[in-house]
């Protein structure tokens, strides 16, 4: 668990990592500076370590565009479903989100509930849409999987376990349909090859000849995720 501290110029958190071999710094979106240290790193050396990198820290913090909490959206665009949902916010005692006349009615008791309510709605929407898409694609490819789970992962768009359980990220709803379709193909191919071997990529290419284009697109796919959602995901 991270601990928080401050200097005269900035605040930072300290995280002890079993994998770390030496101290390092990173700027985390919406959270600022994190000092990662290995076990048994003397805490009295942390301040010295910060002073050694003070110029880098101040430069990074001054240019970090994720320091301020983003405003909640006036509408949500789901590129996968080619739909847009205007949002009507209203404060009341019974929090929840409902769809009405192609818009969302979001009831909240406290402001800090809004992000969680929007994420719950997105998760439910993903559970309504993604399983059928995966089922249809699997049938077309002649693949059989055992289960599907919908999660909200920070880094992975999807995964496939050794028991042929496929996990899909609810944020896929923000991505273009062609890119999502490639992700489904990619994960279904892992049913046959639980690795990224040459045989795996040959199978992917057989089902999606232009897969290299989509692999390059995936490197920038986080740009499709709205800033308010990234904030809720990363804090």
Q: What CA–CA distances, in Å, run from 100 to 15, 80, 85? A: 45, 20, 10
For 2-19, write each residue's pLDDT tens digit: 677 777 778 888 999 988
Residue identified by tokens 């668990």 is: 1
**Can you tell me the distance from the alpha carbon of 17 to that of 24, in angstroms, rounded to the nearest whole number?**
11
For 158-214, write each residue's pLDDT tens digit: 999 999 999 999 999 999 999 999 999 999 999 999 999 999 999 999 999 999 999
Give the pLDDT band (50/70/90) at residue 230.
confident
- Where is average pLDDT lowest: 40-44, 148-152, 202-206? 40-44
Q: Which is higher by pLDDT, 133 or 34?
A: 133
At 163 the pLDDT is: 96
At 64 the pLDDT is: 61
Q: Percentage of the chain surpassing pLDDT 70?
A: 97
- The answer on pLDDT for 123 being more than 90 is yes
Burial class of residue 33 (count of CB atoms within 10 Å of its CB; 0-12, 13-18, 19+): buried
The answer to pTM > 0.95 is no
Q: Percentage of the chain surpassing pLDDT 90?
A: 74
At 66 the pLDDT is: 52
Backbone angles phi, psi at 5, to 5 degrees: -150, 175
Which residues, other chains included, contact 62 with Cβ-Cβ below 8 Å and sequence gap of 6+? none
At 9 the pLDDT is: 78
- Average pLDDT estimate for 140-163: 95
For 218-229, write each residue's pLDDT tens digit: 999 999 999 899
All domains of the chain in start order, with CATH: 3-63 (no CATH), 75-234 (3.30.2010.10)
At 31 the pLDDT is: 74
- Where is average pLDDT lowest: 124-133, 137-146, 149-158? 149-158
At 3 the pLDDT is: 75
At 83 the pLDDT is: 96
Q: Is 86 helix (H, G, I), strand (E, B) or coil?
A: strand
Count H helices and E strands in the chain, helices first: 7, 11
At 155 the pLDDT is: 85
For 51-69, write each residue's pLDDT tens digit: 999 999 888 887 765 567 7
């Amino acid at each position: 668990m991270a601990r928080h501290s401050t200097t005269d110029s900035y605040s930072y958190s300290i995280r002890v990592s079993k994998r770390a071999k030496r101290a390092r710094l990173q700027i985390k979106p919406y959270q600022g500076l994190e000092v990662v240290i290995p076990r048994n790193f003397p805490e009295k050396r942390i301040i010295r370590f910060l002073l050694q990198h003070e110029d880098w820290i101040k430069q990074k913090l001054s240019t970090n565009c994720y320091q301020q909490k983003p405003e909640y959206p006036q509408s949500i665009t789901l590129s996968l479903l080619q739909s847009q949902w205007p949002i009507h916010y209203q404060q009341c005692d019974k929090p929840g989100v409902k769809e009405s006349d192609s818009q969302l009615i979001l009831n909240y008791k406290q402001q800090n509930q809004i992000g969680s309510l929007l994420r719950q709605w997105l998760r439910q929407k993903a559970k309504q849409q993604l399983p059928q898409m995966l089922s249809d694609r699997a049938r077309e490819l002649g693949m059989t999987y055992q289960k599907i789970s919908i999660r909200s992962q920070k880094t992975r768009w999807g995964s496939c376990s050794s028991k042929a359980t496929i996990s899909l990220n609810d944020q896929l709803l923000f991505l273009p349909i062609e890119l999502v379709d490639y992700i489904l193909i990619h994960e279904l191919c892992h049913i046959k090859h639980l690795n990224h071997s040459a045989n795996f990529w040959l199978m992917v290419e057989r089902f999606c000849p232009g897969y290299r284009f989509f692999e390059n697109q995936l490197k920038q796919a986080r740009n499709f995720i709205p800033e308010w959602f990234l904030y809720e995901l990363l804090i």
